[in-house]
Amino acid sequence: AGEMVEFASGVKGIALNLENENVGIVVFGSDTAIKEGDLVKRTGSIVDVPAGKAMLGRVVDALGAPIDGKGALGDHERRRVEVKAPGIIERKSVHEPMQTGLKAVDSLVPIGRGQRELIIGDRQTGKTAIAIDTILNQKEMNGKENETLYCVYVAIGQKRSTVAQLVQILSEANALDYSVLVAATASDPAPLQFLAPYSGCAMGEYFRDNGMHALIIYDDLSKQAVAYRQMSLLLRRPPGREAFPGDVFYLHSRLLERAAKRSDQTGAGSLTALPVIETQAGDVSAYIPTNVISITDGQICLETELFYRGIRPAINVGLSVSRVGSAAQLKTMKQVCGSLKLELAQYREVAAFAQFGSDLDAATQAL
């Protein structure tokens, strides 16, 4: 299972189900040219994608083929899409900051290099904006060669116009020089939307394993889960909760475990992940959101109400946490923001009371 096959029309596929009588293959591309009686050849290889510095500044599809019209890729190596995450001994705890350039994030939910921080919220709450701003803000910090943070942005199930707009924003700001875009748009088949995050991760791991630092953004994993559900149901795998297959947790856990901080013996590189999850009507306790929250090292919760009040980024500070980031926060930042979270919590508590209006005593009103 997991081997690539090739159809007579040249379209590739991957064998996912192996049974006595038949083989379940998902097709990477258009299925219109496939007909009954066609020969299907084994390729003898597992899915792999190009990786390396030649990828920087390029827009590729889920199989690593360039789709930006800039010609073939330069000098690159090929990496397997599905690899095991680094073991416990090869890791080091997160201790360097990954500055996003957004004060609300860097002060209250600091992110370290090698951390996985979930960005979660309803549609139109600015989830992608946080991710894109983070990429753009690296420009000023990427002056030093050893500190450069390479960015991989994986667009899953988004409109082509949105991806084109994004490429334009990044190229106008000269941010494409240190970025790779992997796009599996809404019009691409489900298998490509399922594969894109793993392909992007393999490209990010090139930097992680060669002592460099990378950031990967999966936008968004809800759509990957939907694509995977579609594939699994077509492969006749038994559905579970919300019709997702039983291994939908493993789908995301094996992906996000690959973001890590390597130990000094293995080159001290890092891969930081910012997965995005879209909630329905603010329901953070749905199936996929709770799965991904339990896998990641914290989450940034965005709320529609705050967004409409003009608070942007619309971060709900009470619900947002960073479980390992405080160890990576800069000392000066820590001194400035140490008491900030507590003060905000006290403010929210008093603000709730303040709605009672004038029947408060003078001391409480003074707050």
Give tens-digit pLDDT for 326-346: 899 999 999 988 889 899 999
Q: What CATH number is attached to the domain comprising 28?
A: 2.40.30.20
Q: What CATH number is attached to the domain comprising 135?
A: 3.40.50.300
Domain of residue 115 covers 48-329
Would residue 248 count as lying in a domain?
yes
Give the pLDDT confidence score for residue 358 in this predicted structure: 63
Give the pLDDT confidence score for residue 230 in this predicted structure: 97
Would residue 362 count as lying in a domain?
no
Do residue 12 and residue 145 come from a single domain? no
Residues 81, 200: contact at Cβ < 8 Å?
no
DSSP state of 202: H
Do residue 68 and residue 36 come from a single domain? no
Tell me the per-residue pLDDT of 129-149, one tens digit each, with 9 for 90 and over: 999 999 999 998 887 767 899
Give this prediction's pTM.
Answer: 0.94
131-137-142 Cα angle (round to 5): 120
Report how many domains make up the chain. Answer: 2
Do residue 266 and residue 249 come from a single domain? yes
| CB contact set of 156 (below 8 Å; sequence gap of 6+) | 184, 193, 196, 197, 218, 219, 220, 221, 223, 224, 227
Do residue 39 and residue 83 come from a single domain? no
Do residue 221 and residue 279 come from a single domain? yes
For 334-364, b/e burial (b = at least 16 CB within 10 A) is eeebeeebeeeeeeeeeeeeeeeeeeeeeee
Tell me the per-residue pLDDT of 33-66, one tens digit each, with 9 for 90 and over: 899 999 999 999 999 999 999 999 999 999 999 9
Give the pLDDT confidence score for residue 173 in this predicted structure: 96
Query: What's the start-to-end Cα distance of the chain, in Å?
Result: 64
Would residue 269 count as lying in a domain?
yes
353-323-213 Cα angle (round to 5): 135
pLDDT class of 363 with cuts at 50, 70, 90: confident
Instruction: Give the three-state DSSP class for 28.
Output: strand
* Residue 258 pLDDT greater than 90, yes or no: yes
Residues 208, 214: contact at Cβ < 8 Å?
yes
Catalytic residues: 323
